[in-house]
């Protein structure tokens, strides 16, 4: 096991990793920006190092300063958390070449699964269901037109190096496809430095289904079942739940096993998520693989009892996965609510500033992952998520009831948060009956 882990992140996920380190008997070093000086989570770390000014590009994204901090504090491993440098394979290379262990996949595995065209090819070989579409990147436009005619419109043009919902174009006929390929290529070249685009079938109505997987460096991988993250606004997840409601158990087992096979074939070490869209007939189509621990990992921890962050550290240290697939069972239902410092009544305007009141809920089945307490000042520089409320109960109906109570107890002020929106969504018949899809939140917000 490591002696000292440097955490290259902030806020709730830094705190989550500090807690895991403590239980493993590992010291933690937390780097931070000037804007985060005095951050509540830093009190919990064994050491802290300031690495630069508030803007991420001058601190949390500065590879040179993070490596210098690791050298200075004699850390032996670096945990990237999520966001920031977590999916940057160059960072993973520099960490390794500087003599530290990167807590996550090798840069090779990251590149294999992080590039969408490579990943699709690999998925096909592993029996992971993918969207029908072009086999690789588009070499010539006529080939794309031919493939689109075969699979039928609408189709979507996507960037191999894409992320954050950019570089995508929906085409409903041939003319739109011809125009879309060109503009998507230009956007992809500018945004990701890689002009390669591909075409796949576009699903009009779908649910977001993602499989939590974890692998080690000894050729083992398992899945921890799935999460449904269909409650989204602008591709940002608001509510996640595990397991996905109403999915046929045999279909679920098959797709989850295929995701575990995919990361095994990529020689992947650590936690990852295979994202899928699911159509109304419960067919699955892989979207992408996230090569890091995800924001919503706690709901998978709740229903399986596996500590994903600790397990990720153990396998990075060279241990074998302490579970076999047969050991993993689903226990009850869990829902996570992202508490964002945003005003849902004013177009989700970010709410930086002093938190005077912070009174999170308690009681059976309630877990709160947050770095915030009364007196904390939300800096304007970073993501608006200030906490995650995770509710666990024996079944989905009880979980929804328990969540309504917990959200009612939860008092935050004067900054506005997404709490009232969550309460509204929990009462929506579409959500309650699990007939919702990835567009339902936006439809509701548009209708008011
Ligand atoms: P990014 O890495 O940019 O987030 P994804 O491949 O995860 O890209 O796609 C982002 C979102 O775009 C998905 O969550 C989904 O809402 C939509 N999307 C992507 N591909 C398709 C598709 N083939 N059919 C329907 N929607 C899609």
Give phi and psi for 446, each to the nearest 5.
-70, -40
Please, what's the b/e burial string for 280-294 (b: 16 or more CB within 10 A of its CB; e: otherwise)? eeeebbbbbbbbbbb
Helix (H, G, I), strand (E, B) or coil at 182: helix
Nearest residue to 431 via CA among 142, 228, 196: 228
State yes or no: is 292 an active-site residue.
yes
- Find tokens 């990529």 and name the residue: 266
Atom of ligand 1 minimally distant from the CA of 206: 25
Per-residue model confidence as pLDDT tens digits over 77-108: 999 999 999 999 999 999 999 999 999 999 99
Report the distance separating Cα 115 and Cα 185, nearest Å: 15
Q: Is-contact 392 398, C-beta < 8 A?
A: no
Which residue's alpha carbon is at the smallest distance from atom 10 of ligand 1?
A: 165
Q: H or E stretch including 30?
A: strand 27-32
Pocket of ligand 1 (CB under 6 A): 131, 156, 162-165, 200-203, 206, 208, 235, 275, 277, 287-288, 438
Dist. CA 195–CA 197, nearest whole Å: 6
Is 194:161 a contact under the CB 8 Å cutoff? yes
63's enclosing H/E stretch is helix 63-72
To test the pocket of ligand 1, the residue of 120, 168, 204, 283 to mutate (highest count of ligand atoms within 8 Å of its CB) is 168
- Range with the poorest average pLDDT among 59-73, 187-201, 309-323, 332-346: 187-201
Q: Between β-strands 27-32 and 47-50, what pairing exists: parallel, antiparallel or unpaired? A: parallel
List domains and CATH numbers for the chain: 4-103 (3.40.50.20), 130-201 (3.30.1490.20), 207-446 (3.30.470.20)
- Mean pLDDT over each residue of the chain, to the nearest integer: 96
- The pLDDT confidence band at residue 416, using thresholds 50, 70 and 90, is very high
Neighbours of 54 (CB within 10 A): 16
| Contact (CB, 8 A) for 177 and 133 | no
Distance 163 CA to ligand 1 centre (A): 9
Most confident of 133-137, 233-237, 303-307: 303-307
Measured in angstroms, how far is the CA atom of residue 51 from the centroid of ligand 1? 35
Among 421, 28, 37, 34, smallest CA distance to 239 is for: 421
Residue 306 has pLDDT above 90, yes or no: yes
Give the separation between CA 107 and CA 95, rounded to whole angstroms.
10
Q: Output the pTM of the full model.
A: 0.96
């Amino acid at each position: 096991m490591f002696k000292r882990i440097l955490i290259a992140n902030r806020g709730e996920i830094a705190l989550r990793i500090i807690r895991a380190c403590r239980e493993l008997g590992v010291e933690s070093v937390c780097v931070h920006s000037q804007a985060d000086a005095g951050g509540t989570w830093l009190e919990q770390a064994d050491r802290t190092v300031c690495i630069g000014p508030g803007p991420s590009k001058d601190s949390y994204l500065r590879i040179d300063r993070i490596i210098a901090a690791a050298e200075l504090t004699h850390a032996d491993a670096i945990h990237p958390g999520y966001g920031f440098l977590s999916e940057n394979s160059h960072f993973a290379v520099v960490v390794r070449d500087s003599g530290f262990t990167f807590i996550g996949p090798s840069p090779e595995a990251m590149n294999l699964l992080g590039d969408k065209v490579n990943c699709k090819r690999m998925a096909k070989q592993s029996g992971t269901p993918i969207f029908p579409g072009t086999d690789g990147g588009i070499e010539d436009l006529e080939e794309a037109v031919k493939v689109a005619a075969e699979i039928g419109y609408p189709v979507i043009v996507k960037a191999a190096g894409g992320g954050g919902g950019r570089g995508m174009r929906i085409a409903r006929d041939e003319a739109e496809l011809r125009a879309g390929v060109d503009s998507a290529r230009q956007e992809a070249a500018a945004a990701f430095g890689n002009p390669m685009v591909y075409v796949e079938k576009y699903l009009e109505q779908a649910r977001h289904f993602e499989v939590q997987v974890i692998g080690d460096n000894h050729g083992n991988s398992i899945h921890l079942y799935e999460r449904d993250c269909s409650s989204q606004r602008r591709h940002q997840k608001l509510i996640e739940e595990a397991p996905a409601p109403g999915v046929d158990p045999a279909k679920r087992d098959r797709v989850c096993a295929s995701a575990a096979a995919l990361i095994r074939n990529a020689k992947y070490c650590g936690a990852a998520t295979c994202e899928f869209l699911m159509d109304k007939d419960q067919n699955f189509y892989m979207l992408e693989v996230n090569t890091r621990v995800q924001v919503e990992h706690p709901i998978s921890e709740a229903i399986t009892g596996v500590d994903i962050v600790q397990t990720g550290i153990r396998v990075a240290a060279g241990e074998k996965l302490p579970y076999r697939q047969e050991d993993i069972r689903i226990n009850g239902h869990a829902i996570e609510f992202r508490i964002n410092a945003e005003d849902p009544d004013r177009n989700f305007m970010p709410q930086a500033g002093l938190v005077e009141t912070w009174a999170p809920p308690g009681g059976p089945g309630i877990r709160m992952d947050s770095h915030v307490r009364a007196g904390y000042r939300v800096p304007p520089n970073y993501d608006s998520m200030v906490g995650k409320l995770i509710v666990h109960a024996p079944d989905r109906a009880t979980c929804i009831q328990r969540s309504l109570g917990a959200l009612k107890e939860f008092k935050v002020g004067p900054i506005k948060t997404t709490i009232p929106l969550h309460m509204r969504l929990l009462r929506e018949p579409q959500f309650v009956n699990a007939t919702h899809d990835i567009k339902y939140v936006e439809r509701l917000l548009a209708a008011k």
